[in-house]
Structure 1
Amino acid sequence: MSQARVLVVDDSVTMRALFASVLDKAEGVEVVGHAGDADEARRQIEALAPDVMTLDVEMPGMSGLDFLEEVMRDRPMPVVMLSSVTQKGAAASLRALELGAVECFPKPQQSSLEEFTRLAPKLIALVRAAAAGRVPTGERRPYVRATEEPFDWNGRIVAISAGTGGVDALLRILPELPANCPPTIILMPLDPDFVDPLVARLALATKAEVCLAQDGLTLRQGHIYLAADPRFHIVVDRWPDASMRLISSDPVAGARPSASLLFATLAKTAKADSIGVMLTALGTDGAAGLKALKAAGGTTIVQDPATAMVREAPSAAIAAGAAAAVVALDDIGLLLRSESQRAQAAA
């Protein structure tokens, strides 16, 4: 395993020491430098050429967000943002993800080695995945709504699974969907403080109505439902006239909400009337369920790992034989529109 070379950037000496301590003990990770502000980080990047940078959102002088924007413009690299878990922190985190950060990792509430050690496995997995994933390069294409064209829905339902790197992916896909899009479920586990800012941001990206998934809701055309609560699985209980159910039960293969469970329920209910999409994410959740959906006649689309910020989930789905189509990120929105639109009769 090649070493993921990490630069830790935080204005707090204590935070730098604690993050460096847990990362340096991990197999496959090497902390090559530390910086307390943007000026020092700039010099370290030039001298050390790290594979990944962890960057504090709030720093004196140039803020973490402003420095992130500079890095993505001048020297693109995978960046994991470190953010406080507050409503203000959530808004800053969302902006960081739009600028190209791989993920926003919540800073511990207590600056103790015990607390950092508890969070270490997730941070280490994130850093490793970031080092192996796609690095945003060149001018970032703006998120622009597609020109509205007539759309005749063919009656199919869409389910999208997204994780780490998923905000950027969704903001590239949703603008392609029409106001009267097929009923669409987005499964993306999130911290509660992050949910409302994301719903508001996604609503700006599409003419369809974006809302939170709720138990018993009827799935309606022109609506996009975000299932983000880590306490509940989401399933589709019947088809047609479908409704969603939120189920409080144990994680499935370590995941809750489970993408595999959602896809598997669609395989039993909507079958060929289903379109399942696997986007960038850590882990393997979703691969088994997407395979079941494909076997039931549904259309299964997997993001090309070469275009994914984190390749683990798309690669797992491909390896499982779950993908009917492997598609570059910027082409998924148009394909979804095509697959959910009634074919035009020949003139």
Structure 2
Amino acid sequence: MTADAKRRVLVVDDSALVRQVLSAILARHPLLEVVGTARDPYDAREKIKQLSPDVLTLDVEMPRMDGLTFLGKLMRAHPLPVVMLSSLTDKGTATALDALDLGAVDVIGKPALDQAVGLEAMGAEIAETVHAASFARIHRAAPALPSPAFSAPTAAMAPLATRARAGRSLIAVGSSTGGTEALRRIFETIPGNLPPIAVVQHMLPGFTPAFADRLDRASAATVKVAEDGESLQSGTVYLAPSDQHFTAVRRGAGLAVQLREGERVSRHLPSVDVLFESVAEACGPHALGIILTGMGEDGARGLLRMRQRGARTLGQDEATCVVYGMPRVAWARGAVMEQCPLPLVPHLIAEWCERQP
């Protein structure tokens, strides 16, 4: 199928009004075709067999079987790209995180009041999200614990990390669609004594604190939402707030967080490009830039600037990306020095820390 062929969408929601409004919104996108709707998971299961959709939208609260239960069953039996769309995901609750853990490509908060009007206001965002998700690589649900292939580099990390050399200033990471799982895989594996790590992950407003808490519980490093003016400390991962640009600035001999509101850059707020460009200026060759799975091109320009200033740059390879968009553009523009599979990223981080600046 060519990139400009229409992607087939199945809308799953127990509300007839929501099914109607969503179908109209998605049908207006030139590269989407709504092939059917379903009122609950049992109906959806039959429609999937009949219609072979490329992607589906899925509500959380539905009769007979809730959306999360159905999502788990779907990912084990018939993996498909899924965008969760429910009022339960609007505030970044554990429900949204559970959906992503189960294999949803993305989540969209459905307005709690006057859903028809609210959905129409979000129409362009919903359609673009569903279209992007339709290209995601979805595999059968993996075991809860990391696979042996992913865990293999872990044993080599400890001695590398204990020999981490001075002069390694900052690790900067950018990700989007599929990035929550990629970040989890990385941060649950890295040791806790690395240089500070600054992260921009494109997320729903209000979603970042819950995501940071979940990562913090799984990681040897401290994971938190970045706060304006705070010093960047070793052993800590800083996530950009979902509505502010995140930059790293020099403060004496160290680095500090600078947050600012503003217009979208590379179509995003926060923007990976903004972070990477600030790291290029603040750290020069003493930084490591990593671009992970995601749709679009945010981060490519900034990562190229980091490489031009002497930083080490890595990109996630196509085979392990959910959406090979941002890393592909960065590679094409010469911003990425080395492409690598996701399981190798923690090992390369530790190796960079150990290497003589």
2:282 paired with 1:269 = yes
Report the CA distance between 1:153 and its aligned residue: 2.2
Alignment of 1:138-217 (within 5 A): 139-140=142-143, 142-143=145-146, 146=154, 149-150=158-159, 151=161, 152-154=163-165, 155-156=167-168, 157-217=170-230
- Following superposition, the deviation at residue 57 of structure 1 comes to 1.4
Equivalent position amino acid for 1:108 in 2: P
Deviation at 1:250, TM superposition (A): 3.0
Alpha-carbon distance between aligned partners in 1 of 2:343 and 2:128, rounded to the nearest angstrom: 26
1:235 equivalent among 247, 254, 271: 247
1:97 — aligned with what? 100
Q: Is the 8 A contact 1:143 1:205 kept in 2?
A: no
Secondary structure in 2 matching 1:186: strand
Distance change (3 Å), C-alpha of 1:284 and 1:249: same
Scaled by the length of structure 2, what TM-score is found?
0.89
- Residue matched to 2:307: 294
SS at match of 2:134: helix
Please give the per-residue CA displacement for 1:10-50, whole angstroms capped at 9, x wherever unaligned.
11111111111111121111111111111111111111111
Displacement after TM superposition at 1:109 (Å): 3.6
Match of 1:280 among 283, 286, 293: 293
Distance 2:187 2:250 in 1: 25
Unmatched segments (≥5 aa) in structure 2: none
What is the rounded CA distance, in whole Å, between the counterparts of 2:77 and 2:84 in structure 1? 18
Deviation readout 1:91-119 (Å, 9 max, x if unpaired): 10100101111000111344455433321
Pair 296,93 (structure 1): closer, same or farther in 2 beyond 3 Å? same
For residues 9 and 340 of structure 2, what CA distance do their matches in structure 1 show?
Answer: 31
Task: Calculate the aligned-residue CA RMSD, in Å.
Answer: 2.1
8 Å CA contact 2:40, 2:65 repeated in 1: yes
1:224 to 227, 237, 242: 237
| CA contact 2:273–2:303 (8 Å) conserved in 1 | yes
Cross-structure match for 1:245: 258
Aligned residue number for residue 14 of structure 1: 17
Cα distance between partner residues in 1 of 2:206 and 2:278: 29
- Deviations, residues 179-232 of structure 1 (Å, cap 9, x unaligned): 1122101112433432222111101221111111011111111111111231x2
Distance 1:139 1:207 in 2: 22
User: SS where residue 285 of structure 1 aligns?
Assistant: coil
CA contact under 8 A between 2:178 and 2:321: conserved in structure 1?
yes
Q: Distance in 1 between matches of 2:338 and 2:88?
A: 37
1:32 aligned onto 2:35: yes
Answer yes or no: is the 8 Å Cα contact 2:91–2:207 preserved in 1: no
Does structure 2 retain, via aligned residues, the 8 Å contact 1:83–1:93?
no
Letter of the aligned partner of 1:279 in structure 2? L
1:87 Cα offset (Å): 7.3
The more displaced of 310-319 and 70-79 is 310-319
Which residue of structure 2 aligns with residue 129 of structure 1? 132
Q: How many residues align?
A: 342
Does the 8 Å CA contact 2:175/2:200 hold for their aligned counterparts?
yes
Contact conserved, 2:172 with 2:290, CA < 8 A, in 1? yes
Query: Partner letter of residue 318 of structure 1?
Result: W
Code of the residue aligned with 1:205 in structure 2: it is A
Q: In structure 1, how many angstroms separate the alpha carbons of the residues matched to 2:110 and 2:328?
A: 29
Match for residue 60 of structure 1 among 63, 82, 87? 63
> Could you tell me which residue of structure 1 aligns to residue 86 of structure 2?
83
- In structure 2, C-alpha distance between the alignment counterparts of 1:139 and 1:176, rounded to whole Å: 17
Between the aligned partners of 2:158 and 2:7, the Cα distance in structure 1 is: 46
Please, what TM-score do these two structures have when normalized by structure 1? 0.92
The separation in 1 between residues aligned to 2:246 and 2:118, in whole angstroms, is 31
Residues in 2 aligned to 1:70 and 1:7: alpha-carbon distance in whole angstroms: 17
Q: Is the 8 A contact 2:280 2:306 kept in 1?
A: yes
- Tell me which residue corresponds to 1:5: 8
Q: Among the aligned pairs, what percent are the same residue? A: 37
The answer as to whether partners of 1:283 and 1:313 remain within 8 angstroms in 2 is: yes
CA distance in 1, matches of 2:171, 2:75: 32
Superposed CA deviations along residues 119-149 of structure 1, whole A, max 9, x for unmatched, are 1222221222122221223634624885672
